[in-house]
Structure 1
Amino acid sequence: MNAPDYLLNVWKRFDGFPMETLTKVWAKKQRSVSQMREDQIHYGITGNCFDLSIWLLNEFKEEGIKAYPIGHHLHSKHAHAAIIAEDERGRRFLCDLGDQWLKPILIDVKDQEYTNEMLGVFFPAADIRVSQVENNLQIEYFRPSGKVSRQIYDASRVEESSFCSAAEYSQQTIHPIPLLECRCPYKNEIAHWEFYGWKSFLSTTEGLIDDPDLHSVQEWTARINKKTGFNTVFLNKVLEIYKNKIFD
């Protein structure tokens, strides 16, 4: 179910990249890959699922790897974006930086290396199982608490012009609650840290670990900076916008 090394080598360039919606209120439009690279160098910032997918797609193309965008609920507030990359044998791998997967996974259920067993090491703090439901891809997530959740992907190609249009729509659709997710080391695993609703917590194979409550933008700026390395001036500015709900 693992991707070949040449595909993984591209994916690993994004290992330290969180998924976040903070940049939406700062950039106010869909950024080019060159702009995203520059912003990451200067401010440490990354972007939402569309930003990360567009950037990853560009990296695959530069390495000569066949890849294309996918998504669901495009042009809506529930949109999600990811990438499918193909190896030299034409096998397809789901590459989802927006949900902070640890690595790509094989989705061709007829391939001899496919298994419908529960698998670890692909997703933080959960085992996963890949299956096909009608013409769609289903991912099941098995949490340490016993909770099971499911996500359905339409793995068919989205034309890049339509994908870019959906990305721009997403950039203009500001949810009033900021979100940031990142992968971070915890003991002997890579866990998942999330900031949402002015609370934060760590998802691990031991269960959820809640962070102490904070009460000011300055405190949140310090905590998020420690987790991500994002520029503190940037963080303070965008968090003030979200706190005061000034979305012009």
Structure 2
Amino acid sequence: MRAGEDILGVWRCFDGLPMDNLVKAWHYEQAGVKKQRSVEEMREHRKAYGLGGNCFDLALWLLTDFRAAGIEAYPIGSKLGTEQGHAAVLAIDESGRRFLCDLGDQWIQPILAETQDEAFLDAPQQGFFPGAAVQLSAEPDGLTVIYQRPGGKLSVQKYSLDPVDLSEFWQAAEYSQHQLGKTPMIEVRVAHEGELAHWEFNSWQSELSTTAGLINEEPAPSLDAWIERIHARSGYDRDIVEFALAFYKSLE
């Protein structure tokens, strides 16, 4: 079941907004003690440099825009305060139905998260996640999403649907901004042969996930070539991409 136009209207403003750790590495050096950007900073960086952010950045930004539009919403997460922490948002429509909104994992659109709707939960759903069908499973402590990709590959994401206190969520976001990782990564939804596919650069490899299967791209022959490929896919400022890639190269 798809969300109404009020929720979708806000969600669509984030189309094409990447999730990555490149912005994290770039901003870390210039930030003060606190590394988590304000929503105002994120908007400024998007306008000036084309930037997105990590899952906490995107969740905080989306949450702010939902509330500004008069839509009830709250932050959720899993493994908050750890290196595996993940952030998303639940938005509530006028009838009280909750929709999972996960920009960090690059969903195409929000999906109904009501665990009592067994008919919806039991069947794989198309058109919500790029390059995969999704099947939702109700759990005593939340919701499990099973991603079913071409060729039979499965992956899993678990969510608690309990609201996270906003101050606690900001603390978890701050912790996440200090975890830079060891390799560069960026993901973005891109148009590909009539569908929205999932493009990912990770550990100096890039690939495109489509409903027809995984397309592995040829490795770029140089750092400059990687900069151009990432810029072309994401729209990120070349200088910022170069800074972030050089930072991760220095960790090798």
C-alpha separation between the residues in 2 aligned to 1:32 and 1:113? 40
Letter in 2 for 1:76: T
1:12 aligns to what?
12
Structure 2 residue 136 is the aligned partner of structure 1 residue 130: yes
Structure 2 residue 19 is the aligned partner of structure 1 residue 40: no
Of 193, 212, 216, the residue aligned with 2:218 is 212
Structure 2 residue 211 is the aligned partner of structure 1 residue 195: no
Q: Are residues 203 and 112 of structure 1, via their aligned partners in 2, closer, same or farther at CA, if it must alter by over 3 Å? A: closer
Structure 2 unpaired stretches of 5+: 29-34
Q: Residues 20-99 of structure 1 correspond to what in structure 2 (within 5 A)?
A: 20-28=20-28, 29-99=35-105
C-alpha separation between the residues in 1 aligned to 2:224 and 2:43? 26
C-alpha separation between the residues in 1 aligned to 2:36 and 2:86? 15
Of 229, 236, 244, the residue aligned with 1:238 is 244
C-alpha separation between the residues in 2 aligned to 1:217 and 1:110? 50
Letter in 2 for 1:43: Y
Letter in 1 for 2:233: K
- 2:206–2:217 contact (8 Å) kept in structure 1: yes
Q: Are residues 130 and 233 of structure 1, via their aligned partners in 2, closer, same or farther at CA, if it must alter by over 3 Å? A: same
1:222 aligns to what?
228
Q: Secondary structure at the match of 2:188?
A: strand
Q: Secondary structure at the match of 1:23?
A: helix
CA RMSD of aligned residues (A): 1.3
- Give the fraction of aligned pairs with identical amino acids, expressed as a percent: 46
Structure 2 residue 165 is the aligned partner of structure 1 residue 144: no
- 1:13-49 CA distance string (max 9 Å, x none): 0011010110111112100011000001111011000
C-alpha separation between the residues in 2 aligned to 1:111 and 1:64? 26
Worse-matched range after superposition: 229-238 or 111-120: 111-120
- 1:52-80 CA distance string (max 9 Å, x none): 00000000010010000011111111010
Letter in 1 for 2:184: P
- 2:26–2:244 contact (8 Å) kept in structure 1: yes
Q: Secondary structure at the match of 1:11?
A: helix
C-alpha separation between the residues in 1 aligned to 2:115 and 2:172? 29
- 1:107–1:114 contact (8 Å) kept in structure 2: no
Worse-matched range after superposition: 84-93 or 130-139: 130-139
1:153 aligns to what?
159
C-alpha separation between the residues in 1 aligned to 2:59 and 2:130? 19
1:102 aligns to what?
108
User: CA offset at residue 111 of structure 1?
Assistant: 4.2
**TM-score of the pair, normalised by structure 1:** 0.96
C-alpha separation between the residues in 2 aligned to 1:5 and 1:112? 24
- 2:197–2:208 contact (8 Å) kept in structure 1: yes
- 1:110-131 CA distance string (max 9 Å, x none): 2488442111000001011112
C-alpha separation between the residues in 2 aligned to 1:226 and 1:135? 41
2:31 aligns to what?
none
For these two proteins, the number of residue pairs brought into alignment is 246
